[in-house]
Structures are given as C-alpha cells and as structure tokens.
Structure 1
Amino acid sequence: MTPAHTPPPAAGSRPAPYEISAPWADALNRDVAEADARGEFPRDKWKAIQSSGILAVPFEEQYGGLGHTLTETMQALEGLGHTSRDAGLNFSTSTQIVSVGIPLQAFASPELKSMFLPKIISGDLITAHAITEPGGGSDAMNITTTARRDGDDYVIDGGKMFITNAPIADLFLLYVRTGAPGPFGLSVFLVERDTPGLGVGEPLDKLGLRTSPLGEVTLDGLRVPATRRIGQEGAGFLMLDHVMKREILFAFSITLGEMTHRLRRVVEFAKSRHQFGRPIGAFQAVSHKIADMKIAVETSRKWLADTGAKVEAGRDAAIDIAVTKTVVSEANKQTALDAVQIFGGQGYLTRTGIEQDVRNALGGTIYSGTSEIQRNRIASLLGL
C-alpha cells in the first residue's frame, strides 16, 4: 500500500515534513504514555506501521517496495517522527528498514532476496542486526564472535548485546569474524530465529525508547548454511559501512521530525501560557531558548539533507555522517531539556510527554556510535 504522504518536494525547494494520515496516525498515538510505562512492544501499532506502507519506501518494486530514493526515504521517516509520538516504535521501524532489508537488497543473492525481502517489506517478518558485543561497544573492528567453516556450513559461537528488536525479531543479520582482526575479517550471515544454537534473551528494561525492545543474543554452536552468507567471506565491513550510514540518516531523520513537532508545541505553549500578565514567550529568557531550538532544528535539517544527498551521489561522506549524527543527537537532547524548562511543572509530569522526550533523546548520543566516538572519528579523518 502506498503511504499517505505528501509528494516529494520540487528540486531546490525546502522539504516539508511528510505526514502519515489518519487512521494510521490515530492508531500510532493511542495510549503512548501507557505503552511507555509498560515498556512493551505495541504489536497493535505495528499493524498500523505495516498498513501505512512506510516499510516499503526504499525497496525495489519487484519485491513489493515503492522504489524511492534515499532522500525520499529520509523525508518519509521525518514524517513518521513528526506524526508519531511513540519514539520507541519509530526507532523499531527505522531498524526494521535498515537492519536486514537494506543489506539484503544491496548484497544478497537473488534467491535470498526473493525468499525474504517481500515479508520484510510487508512487516510480516521483524528484523534485527546483531553487531554490538558485551565487551565491544562501538569497537566493531574487534568483534570476537567467530564463524568457522565446516563443510557446507559455518558454525558460529559468541554473543551479542544491546540488539534493537531482538526480543521480537524473526530474522537476524549476524556480523561475525571469519578471519584475522581488522576490516577484512568480518562476514555476515542471515539466520532465522528458530535456528538451533541461537538464543534470545528477555527484553532489557531501559531509560527511554521503551517500546522498542532491546535484548541479548547468544550463539552456541549455531550451524548456518554457507548459502545464508550475505556477500563474499570477509566483506562484512563493506556491508557494515553501507548499513551504518543509512542507519544514522534514517534514524535521525525520524529525530528531526520529532524535534520539529516539539518546537511547534513549545511555540504554541509559550503563546498561550500567561505569567505576570503576558505570554511567557514575551519574556526574553524564554524566547531566546525557543530561538535556539529553531536554530538547532534547522541546523539538523541542513546536515541531514546535505549528507543524505552526498551519500546518494556516491561521494565520500565519512566526516559528514559523523558530524550529522553528533549534531542531530545533541540537538535533540538539548531541545528536549529546553522544552521541559519552558513547560515548567507541566513538563515534569509524565502526562504531557515532554519528560519522555528527554529520556528518549538521551539514547541518541549513545547508539550508532557515541558522541565521543563520532568526535574521535572526525579528528582522525582530519589527520589528527
């Protein structure tokens, strides 16, 4: 089904946020605070995500996709963030698109594409990619989970941690070591949940993005046919680089939509809330905070648009990706904190959803490479 989005903007124009229309928007925003408090994945809302068609946006039409560009996908995801107040579900949606579907489309055999892409695009199969390890964090070059060749199979042993969607995933993309340490020793395998030797832990309780389940994956003598390897042996880092660029661009396009909605809500509140005989927005201490929020939102928009265009054109965007991730994640955190301050006591209450924005925003400076890692990367790429 085609998503109910506004058409892509004309070349050179400033893109307006796409909007997901009713009834999907109504379903996505039902009982958000209650779902967050329970920390459960909202399967009823996943049906709304499926029906909206957003999962199909970047994929080839022959597999059930809509065939849109990277930039158009970013605009659609911005619309999801602008429309849906369930940031955890938004995050799981981005993960669904980028974790398995994107690398399958780019690197998998025609047989694997035909077998799995249609159900990934429809959302009938939920996906996760298992990269991070308990002792590794952002150090993907030192992945210790190993896969050894045994006839027509590989046998995989090790463990993964902090895996988004793991507790609910039907398909996993495993990044494991098949060779020596370094960029050419990683390989990637597609594994179904019920494969003997693959264990999935219970959802981990966490600060924010609580409706997006996070879990541990254990791999104990997991036997995987060589035909389930994606790409050539040792090509894992190439795939990881391809995926991580899009993970950052897609997830933080959603963040941009969430920030844009937050800014609009803060402006409305500052105009309607009166203290000392006038709207609080008339006080310079408040108005300057809001002005800074606007600057942060538009700076984030600029970095996302320019970096997305650079990636889409096939140009080197390594520094741009690191800067974009840092700028947008830190802008999201600061604007959420400012929103609480402007809403005052009401912002501190869970019923307004503003404090939830703060908890959700904190994760953005950690996942997909911490702000510290991004700054290290920028410095390294500058030759420092």
Structure 2
Amino acid sequence: MDFELTTEQKDIQKAALEFARGEFDPDDALLYDRNQQFPSKIWKMACELGFIGLHFPEKYEGQELGLLENALAVEAFCRQDSGIGMALALSYFGSEMVLRHGNEDQKKLILPYAAQGKGILTVAFLEEDFSLAPLATTAKAGENSYVIDGKKSFVTLGSMAGYMIVACQTDPDDPHARSFFLVEREIDGMEISSMGEKLGMRMVPMDVVSLTGVTVPKENRLSQEEKGSSRLKDFLD
C-alpha cells in the first residue's frame, strides 16, 4: 500500500502552510488567546481562499476534495499555531452531519453559508450531566413545527454561530427517539451565556445555550426520529 501523498495533496499542504506562515502573526495569536477571541479576520481570509469546506462538493461552494485533504490543511494551520488552526477547523463544526444526513435544501442553505464565510455553524448536543440517553432537551411535534425546550452545555462557538444543530429527545419514553434540528441564532426563546475562562483552545468560546419554547419548522429536522441515535453515534465517531 502506497502512503505517499499525491502531488495535489502536497500542493494543498504547501498552500495551507504558506497561508498560515503569512497570516498567523504570533503577536496577534497571543492577543486572541489572552482575550479568548475568535480570529475572525483570518477566518474570513481562509474562506475566501477556499480552505474552509475543502471537502464540500463544488455545487455547495466547496473544492470537492477528500477528508484527507481537509485534514492536511488543518494540520498545516496547527503546525503554525494550534489555537488559530483549531478555531478555523471548528468554524464549520457539524457540517459532516449536514453532508451525510441533510436533505438537498438543507445542504444548499448550510454548506455554502459555512464555506463562503457568511457565518459559523456548530452543534449543541452535550448537557450538564453529560448524559446522552435520554437527552433532557426535548422537541415536541406540532402540526407543522417542533417546540424545543432544554439546555445545552459546552457549545462550541455558540455565541457566534448563525446556525446550530441541536440534538433533542422526541419521545421521553424511548431513549433512541431523538432528532437533530437546524436552529437559527436569532430566534425567540434562545439565550446564550459564556462558560467563562478555560484552559486551552481559548480562541474557541464555549457557551451554555438555553432553549425555551423555541419553535422550528418541521423541514428543519435533519434526521428521522428512529435514526437519531445512530446519527449521533456516527457524528461522535
């Protein structure tokens, strides 16, 4: 088996490293870290150069490359500065779930949004006691919508994300009955608060997200209820 990188992969690796060496200023990185500030300017530049969403299909504004190529770019960023590198890599956290399990309308909405730097995507699945079966956050079905109630902890970039994918229990009597919902940041019933100071990955804020009577249309559901547990396992793997 040949483990040698292809010419294209080496070019991607080189381009990512050159970008990082040119734009990841050590003094700026120190300030970002001290202030627990996301490197928005660098993220925008990375999006413009096509480094965000390398593995997205071209029709969703990606480069239609593989996960290895994406990993090579992230590795090159982190070689120069791990804080900035991880911040850029987590700016599209949850995109894999949309790629694998989203419908066409959801992909057209979310993937270009992340790749073009229009906004940040994240996933809200952890809860205060770290229990995943069943989830305390519930989604109750109505005629054309779901009403979400609950609280999520350790939400990556929660205060900055324009969209978040929220894991919910849809039947309290069945621990496997859960679904994921696309929820916009600016929606009635959502409150976000910082989890405060932390060690490591300080450019990536962690937040608590409280949802009280948050109403989302049924078309915002990412997965069928009976497949929710397998979708969560697939995402965590």
**In the alignment, residue 65 of structure 2 is paired with which amino acid?**
H
Structure 1 residue corresponding to 2:41, chosen from 26, 41, 44:
44
Structure 2 residue corresponding to 1:175, chosen from 142, 167, 171:
167
Paired residue secondary structure (2:136): coil
1:75-132 deviation digits (Å, cap 9, x = unpaired): 222222223x1x3332232223341x21111111111211222111122110110011
Task: Mark the CA change 1:118 to 1:166 in structure 2 (over 3 Å): closer, same or farther.
Answer: same
Partner of 1:244: 236
Structure 2 residue corresponding to 1:79, chosen from 76, 81, 98:
76
Asked if 1:120 corresponds to 2:114, the answer is: yes
Contact 1:127 1:169 in 2 (8 A): yes
Contact 1:141 1:182 in 2 (8 A): no
Residue pairs, 1:121-270, within 5 angstroms: 121-135=115-129, 137=130, 139-180=131-172, 184-202=176-194, 204-245=196-237
How far has the Cα of 1:34 moved from its partner? Answer: 1.9
Asked if 1:64 corresponds to 2:55, the answer is: no
Long gaps (5+) in structure 1: 1-9, 246-384
Contact 2:192 2:209 in 1 (8 A): yes
1:201-250 deviation digits (Å, cap 9, x = unpaired): 136221121111111100000001111000212322222222222xxxxx
Structure 2 residue corresponding to 1:97, chosen from 82, 86, 92:
92
Rounded Cα–Cα distance in structure 1 between residues aligned with 2:173 and 2:200 = 34
Rounded Cα–Cα distance in structure 1 between residues aligned with 2:59 and 2:232 = 25
Structure with the bigger percentage of helix: 1
Taking structure 2 as the reference length, the TM-score comes to: 0.88
Partner of 1:25: 21
Task: Mark the CA change 1:13 to 1:181 in structure 2 (over 3 Å): closer, same or farther.
Answer: farther
Bigger Rg over Cα: 1
Task: Mark the CA change 1:89 to 1:204 in structure 2 (over 3 Å): closer, same or farther.
Answer: farther
CA RMSD in angstroms comes to 2.3
Structure with the bigger percentage of strand: 2
Task: Mark the CA change 1:115 to 1:68 in structure 2 (over 3 Å): closer, same or farther.
Answer: same
Paired residue secondary structure (2:236): helix
How far has the Cα of 1:159 moved from its partner? Answer: 0.2
How far has the Cα of 1:61 moved from its partner? Answer: 1.1
Partner of 2:4: 13
Rounded Cα–Cα distance in structure 2 between residues aligned with 1:14 and 1:56 = 20
Paired residue secondary structure (1:97): coil
Contact 1:191 1:228 in 2 (8 A): yes
> How many correspondences in the alignment?
231
Contact 1:28 1:48 in 2 (8 A): no
Contact 1:128 1:163 in 2 (8 A): yes
Residue pairs, 1:272-283, within 5 angstroms: none
Taking structure 1 as the reference length, the TM-score comes to: 0.56
Rounded Cα–Cα distance in structure 1 between residues aligned with 2:169 and 2:223 = 14
Task: Mark the CA change 1:143 to 1:21 in structure 2 (over 3 Å): closer, same or farther.
Answer: same
1:148-188 deviation digits (Å, cap 9, x = unpaired): 11111111100001111111111000001002466621100
